[in-house]
Structure 1
Amino acid sequence: MSTGAGCHPRPAPITVRAPRPLLAALLAVVLLAMLAGCAAGPSSLAAGTPRAAVLAQLGSPFTATALPGGGERLVYSTGPMGFYVYHVDLDGAGRVARIEQVMTFERLAGIPVGQWTAADVRANFGPPMTIDRVHSFDGDVWNYRFIADINLRRLAHVHIDPAGVVRRVMFTDEPLSDDDRSF
């Protein structure tokens, strides 16, 4: 019996140990999966990669648009809930010429108000996270997530009138899930 309060013996501690080879193998698989995910993204493509290899690695793009000079822009989006949209520009020979992550404050703020249409917004930034309506605007508000500055999560609100023309672009901070302020 143990010498403590009460008269019941202390049970022996129970320890559960995973077999070390199994744990090591599991950690290795997780690490390889994480590395493969990083290597499979658009930013991992090398200049000169042929279009067929891009499609084999990344799959079908959200949109494909002809570029001046015979090139083509492939748009890959992590949306609607992701933070990144990549333009993979192919030259006239169908090889990667440039890759750019375009879901940035500068690119969103540079949307030409009164000139771009809903089709232009979708072709450049992919699908919106949500589409809302607000009392103060006659049209739809397309909402996009992006990362600004030092990992600050933001929202871009692109106001599109009933004719399909962009009329305003506004920005707010994305509320965090543990933010208990009422808006």
Structure 2
Amino acid sequence: MPCLRPWAAVLAAGLVVVLAGCASEPTRIVPGTTAAETLQRLGAPTGRYPLNGGGERLQYSRMPAGFEVTDIDVDAAGKVVSVTQVLNEARFGHDIKVDQWRQNEVLAFYGRPYETSRVSSFDGTVWTWRYKAVSERRMLYIYIDPTGVVRRYHTGDDLELDRIRD
């Protein structure tokens, strides 16, 4: 058996790492995959939520350090029907149901927030998620009133890195 040159061994090791990373990337799961296979490939989800019709949402969040939340919806038969990276600025206006969603629906869609805070201009809690728009770091803010209802949302720049540098 011929010996691998040092650079070839490094390349082969790198390829193994890349392929292992792809196997654990939630957005690589395709519809039709079984829930069992999804769990085997990705491991335990960060959240599990029941769906109407008997299905389940497997949620894979990279919060607090990351920028993605992927919802994998599984039907009652145990098959993946959709895979969605939900922290997508183009989707917020369509997905967020102001004056309709309650905080449990926010959790089931976006998972646990990066942080929660209060502001003087709103009677309630502001939940915040980090995401990227192209390569820009951004924040999604969802305002939840004391009764648990979403009252508004907005996006803004993620200034955390600027605070760390100062």
Scaled to the shorter chain, the TM-score interval is 0.7 to 0.9
Amino acid at match of 2:102: T
Alignment partner, residue 45 of structure 1: 29
Q: Mark the CA change 1:35 to 1:164 in structure 2 (over 3 Å): closer, same or farther.
A: same
Q: Mark the CA change 1:118 to 1:68 in structure 2 (over 3 Å): closer, same or farther.
A: closer
2:151 paired with 1:167:
yes
Instruction: Summarize the alignment of residues 5-44 of structure 1 with structure 2, pairs less than 5 Å apart.
Output: 25-44=9-28
2:112 paired with 1:127:
yes
Q: CA RMSD in A?
A: 2.6
Count residues in correspondence.
Answer: 162
Deviation for aligned residue 1:63: 2.5
Deviation for aligned residue 1:158: 0.8
Please give the per-residue CA displacement for 1:28-82, whole angstroms capped at 9, x wherever unaligned: 4344213311232112223322111111111222332333333222111111221
2:122 paired with 1:137:
yes
Amino acid at match of 1:111: I
For 2:60, what is the secondary structure of its paired residue? Answer: strand
Gaps of 5+ in 2: none
How far apart are the structure 2 equivalents of 1:181 and 1:164?
36
Greater relative contact order structure (CA < 8 Å, 6+ sep): 2
Matching residue within 68, 91, 101 for 1:116: 101
How far apart are the structure 2 equivalents of 1:141 and 1:167?
10
Gaps of 5+ in 1: 1-19
How far apart are the structure 1 equivalents of 2:39 and 2:143?
33
Query: Is the radius of gyration larger for structure 1 or structure 2?
Result: 1
How far apart are the structure 2 equivalents of 1:33 and 1:181?
32
Report the TM-score when normalising by structure 2: 0.82
Please give the per-residue CA displacement for 1:79-114, whole angstroms capped at 9, x wherever unaligned: 122111111111221011221111112333341112
Q: Mark the CA change 1:180 to 1:115 in structure 2 (over 3 Å): closer, same or farther.
A: same
2:48 paired with 1:64:
yes
For 2:90, what is the secondary structure of its paired residue? Answer: helix
User: What percent of counterpart residues are identical?
Assistant: 43
Amino acid at match of 1:44: R
For 1:162, what is the secondary structure of its paired residue? Answer: coil
